[in-house]
Amino acid sequence: MEPREVQTVQDARLIVEERGLSHVKIGLFDNDGVMRGKYMSREKFFSSLDNGFSFCDVVLGWDMQDQLYDNVSYTGWHTAFPDAPVRILPASCRDIPFEDGMLLFLAEFAGTAEAVCPRGVLRRVIDRAADMGFAAFAALEYEFFLFDETPDSVRQKNFTNLKPMTPGWFGYSMLRNSTHAGLYHEMIDLANAMDFPLEGIHTETGPGVIEAAITVDGALNAADKGALFKTFLKVFAQRHDIMATFMAKWSNDYPGQSGHIHLSLRHSKDHTSAFYDNQKQHNMSDIQLQFVAGQQKLMPQLLCMLAPTVNSYSRLIPGFWAPTDATWGIDNRTTALRVIPGSEKSQRVEHRVGAADANPYLALAAALGAGLYGIAKGWQPEPCTSGNAYAQKHAEHLALPKTLWEAAQTLKTSAAARELFGDSFVAHFAATREWEEREFRKHITDWELQRYFEII
């Protein structure tokens, strides 16, 4: 049996038995999209397939550096960090090609933890789409930089003066991808082996930067694939004695790294596109107009789900391929929402605000949920933006929050967010972003020292 054939609990047992594995690998994703997990014995795995297992809920109560939040109610010292129930997802079975037949299974939180579980949040939005008669499809694109560095060397250098894998500005370079063809082929092979196949991969503008587009799939599968791609691309790089970063902006000298989201809806009853109408301008159906309107109107309120770190807001500046207002346009890469006219199969919208550092589950939940909200409300979008959106003045209510703290406050007070994602999630995630901003404020930057130390 092949991993892609696994669908049921019985299938999961069978493939483990066929491979004679003593252990399998189990993983799930935390608030920041960081994969947490462990090796689990065969006997424990078989039992957990039927009954679930327990995972310390601290992984929802600490940040990406394992520091405990001091401002959340879901878990903490006040609850003594109990175990939370977790369910294994048999159909998520994947090979780990460099671990000699080892299998990976994804899991997600259940019980009360499900309310704040990132995968659970997205699944509830997808259920909303189904209740409205739609199936959601998505494709995620990620930009990342590769460096001739190791985890030890970047710390020895204090994360400064790092050496990119290749020098210069070589966007879409056949020179670079031919010179390093072996590395590209191995990335493509890894993506195929682990079932997050790439539709395309190429160099982007900047030293050592690559963009990879993951093949379209149903929205939940697309998020799984995005989260696994980010995790195992970093593993792949370190196994090759290089490093990958998905930071939104690692240097002010180069454009930031995006995590663009392509979205479309199809009618569940007949699988036809809900976005395509060849009788309308740009083939945009009334449903797609309403979807774009929802994304546009709620973008400022949901921004911290798409731009979740302090660093995310260094990317959202004019002229660097990242939007600063909730604008939309037709095939316009200067707007926040790029409607891509096409055929019945390809008509879609690209959400261009999301950064590469976003949690794929939460970024997709925000982009999809906002669109569905617009359909439910029958909203119409603001006038379409033509030309360079950066050079134009836009309505004040289309302005995006400028800091993570501001974005967290906007999420916290959003009635739409609470309706879409639930009070528990909104309160928990907004608090985690407030924590992230406060952690940043505890530190003195190089810029402050250089600016103030002597002269002030």
139-176: pLDDT as tens digits: 999 999 999 999 999 999 999 999 999 999 999 999 99
- The predicted-structure confidence for 372-397, as pLDDT tens digits, reads as follows 999 999 999 999 999 998 888 899 99
In this prediction, residues 394-408 reach a mean pLDDT of 95
Q: Is the pLDDT reported for residue 447 higher than 90?
A: no
Alpha carbons 436 and 409: distance in angstroms, whole number: 13
> What mean pLDDT value characterizes the chain?
96
* Secondary structure letter of residue 384 according to DSSP: P
Domains 3-116 and 126-407 in one fold: no
Q: Give the residue extent of every domain in the chain.
A: 3-116, 126-407
Least confident of 102-106, 383-387, 404-408: 383-387
pTM of the predicted model as reported, rounded to 2 decimal places: 0.97
Position 144, amino acid? F
Predicted pLDDT of residue 182: 97
Q: Is the pLDDT reported for residue 399 higher than 90?
A: yes
In this prediction, residues 281-299 reach a mean pLDDT of 98
Alpha carbons 39 and 197: distance in angstroms, whole number: 25
Q: Is the pLDDT reported for residue 325 higher than 80?
A: yes
In this prediction, residues 353-363 reach a mean pLDDT of 96
Element (H, E) at 103: strand 103-109
- The predicted-structure confidence for 225-236, as pLDDT tens digits, reads as follows 999 999 999 999
Q: Is the pLDDT reported for residue 324 higher than 90?
A: no
What does the angle CA 143 – CA 231 – CA 300 come to, to the nearest 5 degrees? 55
Q: Is the pLDDT reported for residue 323 higher than 90?
A: no
Please say whether the beta carbons of 8 and 335 come within 8 A. no
**From 3.30.590.10, 3.20.20.450, 3.40.50.720, 3.40.50.300, which CATH number describes the 126-407 domain?**
3.30.590.10
Model confidence at 116, in pLDDT bands (50, 70, 90)? very high
In this prediction, residues 220-226 reach a mean pLDDT of 98
Predicted pLDDT of residue 319: 67
CA neighbours closer than 13 Å in the CB half-sphere of residue 282: 17
Predicted pLDDT of residue 255: 84
- The predicted-structure confidence for 40-97, as pLDDT tens digits, reads as follows 999 999 999 999 999 999 999 999 999 999 999 999 999 999 999 999 999 999 999 9
Q: Is the pLDDT reported for residue 358 higher than 90?
A: yes
Percentage of the residues of the chain whose pLDDT score is greater than 90: 94
Model confidence at 417, in pLDDT bands (50, 70, 90)? very high
Predicted pLDDT of residue 322: 78
Alpha carbons 395 and 403: distance in angstroms, whole number: 19
Model confidence at 443, in pLDDT bands (50, 70, 90)? very high
Position 331, amino acid? D
In this prediction, residues 411-418 reach a mean pLDDT of 98
Residue 156 sits at φ, ψ, to 5 deg, of -60, -35
Helix (H, G, I), strand (E, B) or coil at 132: coil
CATH 3.10.20.70 is the classification of domain 3-116: yes
Please say whether the beta carbons of 19 and 103 come within 8 A. yes
